[in-house]
Amino acid sequence: MRDSTRLTRRAALGLTAAALPLSAAPSASAAPRVVGGERLARDGIQVRGATGLPGKLTARSWLLADAASGEVLASYRAHRRLAPASTLKMLFADTLLKKFARTDRHRVTDADLADIPYGSSLVGIKPGITYTVEQLWQGVFLRSGNDAVHVLAHMNGGVARTVAEMQARAEDLQALDTHVVSPDGFDHPGQLSSAYDLTLFARHGLADDDFRAYCRTRTADFPAGGKKTFQIQNTDRLLTGAWGLGTYDGLIGVKNGYTSDAGNTFTGAATRGGRTLLVTVMHPANGSNAVYEETAALLDWGFDRGSSVRPVGTLVTPLSEGGAPTPAARPAQEAASAPVPAAKGTSSWRLLEGATGAVAVLGAGALALRRRRATTAGTDRKGRHRG
């Protein structure tokens, strides 16, 4: 009797499950969507409708997009989370650029420079000298100066507040691969972004006239104290033709970076025939010129073949500009995405110490910032840390 009762119950359960409406059953559409389109989470090169991609691309991740339409024309592991180095300064600029007038002046103090990670790239800011905001931004864009970043961050209320605002800005841009630990892009455990997110930062930044002007500036005179100045040159080699590279015709920026953890990273933009293309290349396997060479090769392909390409994804619109929210999910290809490691030790500043009030004021977006502490790590080939 017991056996027959069990059999009857099992049969009833089976009939109940079979009778459930289709909407109650799990489906592929219920799975979290990938920002910009599910193809961007796939492994391997993503391209449709065109051939002839450059054959010697060694980058661990890259993306090519049309700046006007936001269409992603081709990509490779676009959402792979990697250390961004100083390309993260694009997000820093997009977050703070409109907070100060170009003509505002600031006399630098020792406290402004006290929390710069040892070995950072510097433009040469000194305490006691007064700089205009325009000069500070030239230090950020041209020389990737972490000293200029930290002065601006202190003008903004401190490093902790700035980091929180950058994270909130990333959330608004729907750059969900990005985790900000420091404002300068320096190597810290857990500081990550992706080719997709960096391209979002570049696209949105270039819509601003000041951002666009700074990143395309080749040289500038920088204060050295009193009436003395010295010349600084942009470290973007496709813009200046340095290190044996020719300048790229039509290049308009955007930002390069190097650290021992990130290797070389670069987001570049160029305009030809009225069309602007964006390329982000992260961590190529070859030498320091490879990031520029691979960027140039992808730009060439885009301008040559781009009209026949069918998009494999799109650069989404910021939420604050009416963009449709994408479910907050990390890319599907977790195997190819770098995990966020737990930070160890103590950084040269405590990112959130004493900043509770500042974070609270920033609203819900800033709450996405994970409470982490970071340590500086890595040196370049000459024994220096870079940003």
Please report, in angstroms and rounded to a whole number, the separation of the first and last CA atoms in the chain. 76
Beta-carbon count within 10 A of 335 CB: 6
Please tell me the number of Cα atoms within 13 Å of 73 on its side-chain side. Answer: 26
Instruction: Assess whether 121 carries a catalytic annotation.
Output: no
Half-sphere exposure of 310 (CA within 13 A, CB side): 3
Length of the chain: 387
Taking each helix axis as running N to C, give the angle between helix 89-96 and helix 195-206, from 0 to 180 degrees, rounded to the nearest 10: 40
Exposed/middle/buried for residue 299 (C-beta within 10 Å: 0-12, 13-18, 19+): buried
Concerning whether 86 is annotated as a catalytic residue, the answer is yes
Angle between helices 146-155 and 159-172 (to 10 degrees): 90
SS3 at position 233: strand
Q: Is 267 exposed, middle or buried (0-12, 13-18, 19+ CB in 10 A)?
A: buried
* Helix residue ranges per DSSP H, 103-132: 110-113
- Give the separation between CA 54 and CA 293, rounded to whole angstroms: 11
Cα separation, 74 vs 48, whole angstroms: 8
Which entry of 120, 144, 182, 347 is annotated as an active-site residue? 144
DSSP symbol at 369? S
Q: Name the catalytic one among 75, 89, 194, 260.
A: 89
Q: Is 144 a catalytic residue?
A: yes
Catalytic residue among 86, 120, 121, 347: 86
Strand ranges for 93-167 from DSSP E: 105-107, 130-132
Q: Which residues are catalytic?
A: 86, 89, 144
